[in-house]
Structure 1
């Protein structure tokens, strides 16, 4: 084990601003090592410890069945279900098997059958209640009564993996964020099978290399977008049986796509029967007691990450999805809420002191570090992504360097900035210098994933970028022969915003499904306020497929943009270098991996022979957002070759002279046969 002093030194080497907080870092890293010792007892290897799902819950054995549950406050526990008439049958009473509150029952093979519904009935001093087992792997809802139950799931033929040894290629992640339920055109809940058949080919054809699956873990309320989890080990049955999710992941692997899933360990649904609330009659079994255990903004429960049994539960959950479903990593949701007792609510993080005070939950930070260790020990190729708005230093640094161990963190300030810019600032006032700062403002030692918009910007109460810019025109002026200026502006900026966000990203890029073609409307799940309608909980792919509409032109640009990023190796480590930014002209230019990107954000001015400082060489224009194939005006001749001319006054010693149409982006590829002496 690396000495704490050494880890702190490595951490400070990557970020000198941390030097003033050395004592806090020493304590924090010591706390992480202490938690590791507490949960393992110093006797068990951490990945082996993370196997609670193989011990707890229902399992078929050679002799029949065994079921175990942790409920230390219980005075009696029964399995109830179809097999006993839902009564407290003594034949299905569990025995308390250990001092730490474990309960256990062994049953003959004919006692339970595949498909049986069941629950636990837990008694405690002064009360009792029905509960879904904490480690339930299959939970179903009765469509008539809407009641949830666990289900015995032991098919005669287990799923046979076609790609059991798939490993995520070591490429920068180009992530396509999806929600299987709303991924279809019809006004209904889509299934894993439908997604596999209809949407996977679209994603593979679009050039993205990673799928991020939302709403995988079981959640009682569909409209929670999957973030109010009740059963952490059960894939949501509303999308189909577990084998269909396995088949989806298998099919993605066959097409070379890695699959990561949203992992919600930041909170849990407050429900008692379906969830973990008051599981054994106490509110503190999995969660903090009192006000600290309740997230008022999210109406959910907050885990006690200082409790070894809770850490064991969550670490086992990480391993379960890797082992049972072959996922290739996780996007950890709500990291900011975990890290701070104030959950980051209405909090401006303006300096490093905000990361080192009594508001930081160091138990949560320790848990996240252990989780990353488990995941990367089991799957060195796995991708872990932190969703954190606070900017906590070290999240995306290796544990061996004193970090928390995430591979990447989301650049969450980028989409917020785009929304503010589009919403509040006239085009002619867009500040190029500030834009460059916002797009590239990150710690170089930590990889980030940038995005122009995710599902957050598409939910009711907000608008996607295309919807915000086109407004009502998105309903009336999207025909390819309609010259509507509002829609033309929206399309021009939509392409430029996405390209500049991708080209400046720190190590990865994300897009939410449908946003690449300017999907109209917002996302609104069925709820009482909209008459339980599915109208806005779907993706209208037919719009992108209709050659008479402009949506397909935006999708075509996105495919070309993603292909260019892969061809250039754009995100493979080299940071973009600024060539030129000019506020009055609204010009931004930079070079990355030898490729030159030039953006003219001016709403009306085009420039002839505009001089851009540039490295020497010759360049071919390989992408032009104004091309008619992408819904532009066709003001540039394709495949132009430009030479960087010597100029002593240029910061780079040379200068390119370009025709830059208004509201247009171009990409110049370096020619390998260039002599560099035009």
Structure 2
């Protein structure tokens, strides 16, 4: 055996190879010649069948006792092929190449002969600033997008990666987002799975074009100043028998125990995260997307499913060898994943979609954590949506649904997600969740958006929510862009854009997200009004947030402020520009010289009905600015 190959396979079988995509699968070894390397440890025989051989098998040879099979064949780029496995029982089955970089279009599952996708990258400036400016004390505002349903052609066909460069990226940038989060774009068969039931862990889906065009899309985003995150699914995979399931005739990628392998919740198979070769496979997948494709991070899907043995249906009493609920292999794998990713890329985002109260998900591993740098705050999201979807007068008794999150808001480094999961399957769109008539629905939605944007933590919003789409998200058709012909939807989109840009320009809203200093709650004991101060590092970087949670205007409402002087209302959700009724805005405020609620001073404001104000202190440079209106036109 070649000494270099022997080293590679040794590392792969130890679980220490995070670059296995460079050796496994099909790789060109000369003009018109390809080498195939397949892991099938319990197969009786392995062969390659493809267009280049009229689908007749070309046998691979076992590589010692490594469980791998190696061989060569002539072929042309783009030709289709599969792996033919003869099981120990003599059954002959055709399987995908797990390491393929490209597949034929659905419903086929044949891989394509192709080199590692190439691209002449022009994102050096982006990668340099990413390395120099880590995300913790920077604005992070994510637009979550399902590429297959963002926009479509008139005939219902998908836009391509190349078309998305012009259709998606300028739009997201103009709205004021810092990052784009793509729902899984790895190869998958079922559209209705949204990409979460995968088969191609190294292949951008062929739905939207070749892999090289996917790389061009990422590069274009970076050149425009947008980061790109993609959802990644290391916990489970598609059941189809011609993919990874029972790959060599025995449980290969999945657990040998059928009970543990069966993922009832999603109708998939669970990866055996304790198996060394599966770890090499998944670690290599993560590094492929981060290294080769220049992604800025991975949102790791269904982390709870990897943390708990009893997470899934029918497994309520499953226990590990110590009698606990924790999936020991799963937690060990996640720690290993984050260790290797951050060793190579300390500046990327590793985000856990984790729905339990598992401790220290976003804490460093050497302190007992899992090593992610962010965790989705599902509790905050669920409580917020429950509160704002209730009639304003009925929800007064449930103000704790908002204020309880203050208790744990800095237990983790949180992202606050209003994701696709909250606007589908009968849950209604964000706008449709809001109570009252259409006007009041938008008023509630704007107020909730301020709560979202000013609460400690980074942000995520699913596409279409920025203008208050009424219909639930549908993966089979494009967003309801026609909504923007309605003035209320168009003004909601304007509001989101203004709020996003204000967020980016205001260090108080992101610089100290995960420090106690970053927020000071000044009114938290009422059932109708909440007020708090967000703080940056510099004393001048402060923003006062006031939320009126009832549809009743409050004149001469007293707001505590941190010092005497002049203040300015930077945003009023009830401005007519945003769909409200205020045509003249109260802007310039002078302190009353009276302490309030333990704060040194206070200002009197007109608090809009079902609305929010953002109030900022004026510096010496801005105090001489022109006068501002102080009354409201009905």
Helix, strand or coil: the match of 1:322? helix
Mapped partners of 2:227, 2:64: distance in 1:
41
Instruction: From 579, 586, 589, give the equivalent of 2:531.
Output: 589
Helix, strand or coil: the match of 1:106? strand
Q: Which moved more, 1:571-580 or 1:160-169?
A: 160-169
Q: What are the Cα deviations for residues 290-344 of structure 1, in whole angstroms up to 9, with x where unaligned? A: 1110011210001111111111111111111112211111000000111111226
From the superposition, tell whether residues 100 and 286 of structure 1 become closer, same or farther in structure 2 (CA, over 3 Å): farther
For structure 2, the residue ranges without an aligned partner over 5 or more in a row are: 1-6, 536-541, 624-634
- The equivalent residue for 1:270 is 239
From the superposition, tell whether residues 282 and 164 of structure 1 become closer, same or farther in structure 2 (CA, over 3 Å): farther
Q: Does 2:344 align with 1:372? A: no
- The equivalent residue for 1:79 is 48
Q: What are the Cα deviations for residues 138-180 of structure 1, in whole angstroms up to 9, with x where unaligned? A: 11136xxx3221111249x942222256323432321111111
Matched-pair contact (CA < 8 Å) for 1:614–1:656: yes
Helix, strand or coil: the match of 1:550? helix
Instruction: From 376, 383, 406, give the equivalent of 1:417.
Output: 383
- The equivalent residue for 1:300 is 268
Helix, strand or coil: the match of 1:139? coil
Q: Does 2:226 align with 1:257? A: yes
Query: What's the offset of the Cα at 1:614?
Result: 2.1
Aligned 1:311-322 pairs, distance under 5 A: 311-322=279-290
Mapped partners of 2:16, 2:65: distance in 1:
22
Query: What's the offset of the Cα at 1:486?
Result: 0.4
Mapped partners of 2:289, 2:15: distance in 1:
13
- The equivalent residue for 1:571 is 510
Q: What are the Cα deviations for residues 270-306 of structure 1, in whole angstroms up to 9, with x where unaligned? A: 1121x21011101244334211100112100011111
From the superposition, tell whether residues 96 and 222 of structure 1 become closer, same or farther in structure 2 (CA, over 3 Å): same
Matched-pair contact (CA < 8 Å) for 1:440–1:505: no
Helix, strand or coil: the match of 1:61? strand
Helix, strand or coil: the match of 1:65? strand
Matched-pair contact (CA < 8 Å) for 2:389–2:433: yes
- The equivalent residue for 2:461 is 511
From the superposition, tell whether residues 598 and 345 of structure 1 become closer, same or farther in structure 2 (CA, over 3 Å): farther
- The equivalent residue for 2:630 is none
Q: Does 2:161 align with 1:195? A: no
- The equivalent residue for 2:538 is none
Mapped partners of 1:196, 1:257: distance in 2:
12
From the superposition, tell whether residues 423 and 592 of structure 1 become closer, same or farther in structure 2 (CA, over 3 Å): closer
Query: What's the offset of the Cα at 1:433?
Result: 4.5
Count residues with an aligned counterpart.
590
Instruction: From 547, 550, 565, give the equivalent of 2:488.
Output: 550
Aligned 1:112-261 pairs, distance under 5 A: 112-126=75-89, 127-141=91-105, 146-154=107-115, 158-164=118-124, 166-167=126-127, 168=130, 169-170=133-134, 171-186=138-153, 187-261=156-230
Instruction: From 400, 422, 426, give the equivalent of 1:457.
Output: 422
Instruction: From 581, 588, 598, give the equivalent of 1:641.
Output: 588
Mapped partners of 1:346, 1:625: distance in 2:
47
Question: What is the alpha-carbon root mean square deviation over aligned residues?
Answer: 2.7
Mapped partners of 1:566, 1:158: distance in 2:
34
- The equivalent residue for 2:498 is 560
From the superposition, tell whether residues 497 and 550 of structure 1 become closer, same or farther in structure 2 (CA, over 3 Å): same
Matched-pair contact (CA < 8 Å) for 1:192–1:240: yes
- The equivalent residue for 1:477 is none
Mapped partners of 2:583, 2:126: distance in 1:
45
Q: What are the Cα deviations for residues 201-227 of structure 1, in whole angstroms up to 9, with x where unaligned? A: 000111111111112111110110111
Instruction: From 490, 493, 511, give the equivalent of 2:444.
Output: 493
For structure 1, the residue ranges without an aligned partner over 5 or more in a row are: 1-38, 471-484, 526-533
Mapped partners of 2:284, 2:38: distance in 1:
14
Matched-pair contact (CA < 8 Å) for 1:432–1:581: no
Instruction: From 538, 546, 564, give the equivalent of 2:478.
Output: 538
From the superposition, tell whether residues 347 and 649 of structure 1 become closer, same or farther in structure 2 (CA, over 3 Å): farther
Query: What's the offset of the Cα at 1:105?
Result: 0.5
From the superposition, tell whether residues 240 and 125 of structure 1 become closer, same or farther in structure 2 (CA, over 3 Å): same
From the superposition, tell whether residues 675 and 579 of structure 1 become closer, same or farther in structure 2 (CA, over 3 Å): farther
Q: What are the Cα deviations for residues 463-508 of structure 1, in whole angstroms up to 9, with x where unaligned? A: 11202337xxxxxxxxxxxxxx7011000000110111120132x1
Mapped partners of 1:198, 1:52: distance in 2:
35
Mapped partners of 2:315, 2:598: distance in 1:
41
Matched-pair contact (CA < 8 Å) for 2:392–2:549: no
Q: Which moved more, 1:178-187 or 1:264-273?
A: 178-187
Mapped partners of 2:210, 2:11: distance in 1:
37
Q: What are the Cα deviations for residues 243-272 of structure 1, in whole angstroms up to 9, with x where unaligned? A: 111111000000111111101112111112
Q: What are the Cα deviations for residues 352-410 of structure 1, in whole angstroms up to 9, with x where unaligned? A: x99x9621102111111111111111111101100001021111012243321111100
Matched-pair contact (CA < 8 Å) for 2:429–2:473: no
- The equivalent residue for 2:64 is 98
Helix, strand or coil: the match of 1:74? coil
TM-score by length of 1: 0.82
